[in-house]
């Protein structure tokens, strides 16, 4: 289950890649814009502001996220649904997917299917985290051991060259890149290590769901100790490097 409040705890850090992504989308007056895996809808609302003439629609498989999105003061519309079943409409001129596809197995097949169905000149903009071999995910895998290994996939995403290759082969013009953000997370305000509270909004959800209360408490303390060693406090903040992979493709 996704918890919008936990996810939004680091909303400012999490939204920056979204704005860096959509800054590279050159659409002037799109007819329809889809935000796939829209989460709590705050960023979908920003798309509705950027393109006031477009029908902007957010889709997410989490009813909790869509309920939160539906309470926003925005003209964007929202719907519960699985992206695996989504198909572009003939007037979908922009598709945005920010921090979604790492959760979707075989998402490369979806990307090529969407490109084939999008109208000429449409834009597809995707961002995924690229930190699965970083210290936070190594700590998760070490703490989970064999028992939870099935919850942690080693490389659920490609690098920029991998997505460029896929979308060039589909006939698109492609812009692909990566950025490592250095998030400086406040260290003093919460008892838990801030990287732990960050992960609770995303990667830790399946772990929490798989464990009972005692097992979760033990897992959490062991992970907390590992994260404290991997990401020490410096001058009152915890520097947390976070690599992200971007691709923007234009349908010919
Ligand atoms: C990390 S959040 C990103 C939310 C938003 N795009 C943002 O950038 O703030 C990932 C979202 O993807 C949604 N999600 C995961 N798998 C999905 C699927 N198969 N279909 C639709 N949404 C999915 C989750 O419910 C969650 O809200």
102 Cα–ligand 1 center, Å: 9
Does the structure show a pLDDT above 70 at 40? Answer: yes
Cβ neighbours of 158 (radius 10 Å): 19
What tens digit of pLDDT does each residue of 147-183 get? 888 888 767 899 999 999 999 999 999 999 999 999 9
Q: Count structural domains, the chain.
A: 1
Please report, rounded to a whole number, the percentage of residues in the chain having pLDDT higher than 70: 98
The answer to whether residues 38 and 46 touch, using CB atoms and an 8 Å cutoff, is no
pLDDT score of 190: 58
Q: Look up the CATH number of the domain holding residue 173.
A: 3.40.50.150
184: which strand partners?
239
Closest residue (by CA) to atom 18 of ligand 1? Answer: 82
Closest residue (by CA) to atom 10 of ligand 1? Answer: 100
pLDDT score of 189: 57
Dist. CA 89–CA 26, nearest whole Å: 20
Does the structure show a pLDDT above 90 at 192? Answer: no
Task: Count CA within 13 A, CB hemisphere, residue 68.
Answer: 19
The answer to whether residues 172 and 124 touch, using CB atoms and an 8 Å cutoff, is yes
Range of the domain at 85: 4-250
What's the first-to-final CA gap in the chain, in angstroms? 38
User: Which of 81, 93, 80, 82 is CA-nearest to residue 34?
Assistant: 93
The answer to whether residues 184 and 237 touch, using CB atoms and an 8 Å cutoff, is yes
60 Cα–ligand 1 center, Å: 6
Dist. CA 229–CA 182, nearest whole Å: 17
Task: Count CA within 13 A, CB hemisphere, residue 232.
Answer: 3
Does the structure show a pLDDT above 70 at 42? Answer: yes
Q: Scanning the structure block, which residue is given the tokens 């410096």? A: 234
pLDDT score of 79: 98
Dist. CA 151–CA 208, nearest whole Å: 11
94: which strand partners?
33, 123
What tens digit of pLDDT does each residue of 43-96 get? 999 999 999 999 999 999 999 999 999 999 999 999 999 999 999 999 999 999
Query: Sorting pLDDT into bands at 50, 70 and 90, what band is 10?
Result: confident
Cβ–ligand 1 distance for 43 under 6 Å, the answer yes
Cβ–ligand 1 distance for 103 under 6 Å, the answer yes
233 Cα–ligand 1 center, Å: 30
Closest residue (by CA) to atom 16 of ligand 1? Answer: 103
pLDDT score of 72: 97
The Cα-based distances of 231 to 195, 202, 216 in angstroms read 8, 18, 21
113 Cα–ligand 1 center, Å: 19
Cβ–ligand 1 distance for 4 under 6 Å, the answer no
**What angle, 0 to 180 degrees and rounded to 10, lies between the N-to-C axes of helices 135-144 and 213-230?**
140
Closest residue (by CA) to atom 1 of ligand 1? Answer: 99
* Mutation probe of ligand 1 site: the residue of 6, 11, 60 with most atoms within 8 A of C-beta: 60
* Mutation probe of ligand 1 site: the residue of 37, 64, 181, 242 with most atoms within 8 A of C-beta: 37
Q: What are phi and psi of 25, to 5 degrees?
A: -90, 120
Closest residue (by CA) to atom 27 of ligand 1? Answer: 39
Mean pLDDT calculated for residue range 128-132 = 94
């Amino acid at each position: 289950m996704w918890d919008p409040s936990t996810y939004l705890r680091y909303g400012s850090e999490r939204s920056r890649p979204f704005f860096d992504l959509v800054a590279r989308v050159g659409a002037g007056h799109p007819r329809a814009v889809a935000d796939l895996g829209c989460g709590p809808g705050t960023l979908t609302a920003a798309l509705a502001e950027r393109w006031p003439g477009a029908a902007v629609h957010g889709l997410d498989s989490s009813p909790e996220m869509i309920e939160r999105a539906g309470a926003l003061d925005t003209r964007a519309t929202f719907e519960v649904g699985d992206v695996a079943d989504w198909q572009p409409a003939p007037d979908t001129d922009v598709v945005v997917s920010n921090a979604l596809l790492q959760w979707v197995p075989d998402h490369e097949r979806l990307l090529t299917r969407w490109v084939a169905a999008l109208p000429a000149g449409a834009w597809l903009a995707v961002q995924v985290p690229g930190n699965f071999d970083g210290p936070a995910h190594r700590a998760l895998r070490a703490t989970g051991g064999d028992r939870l290994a099935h919850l942690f996939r080693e490389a659920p995403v490609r690098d920029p060259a991998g997505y460029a290759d896929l979308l060039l082969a589909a006939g698109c013009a492609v812009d692909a890149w990566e950025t490592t953000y250095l998030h400086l997370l406040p260290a003093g305000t919460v008892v838990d290590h801030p990287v732990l509270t960050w992960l609770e909004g995303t990667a830790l959800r399946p772990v929490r769901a798989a464990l009972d209360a005692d097992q979760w408490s033990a897992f959490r303390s062991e992970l907390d100790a590992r994260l404290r060693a991997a990401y020490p406090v410096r001058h009152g903040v915890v520097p947390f490097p976070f690599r992200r992979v971007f691709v923007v493709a234009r349908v010919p």
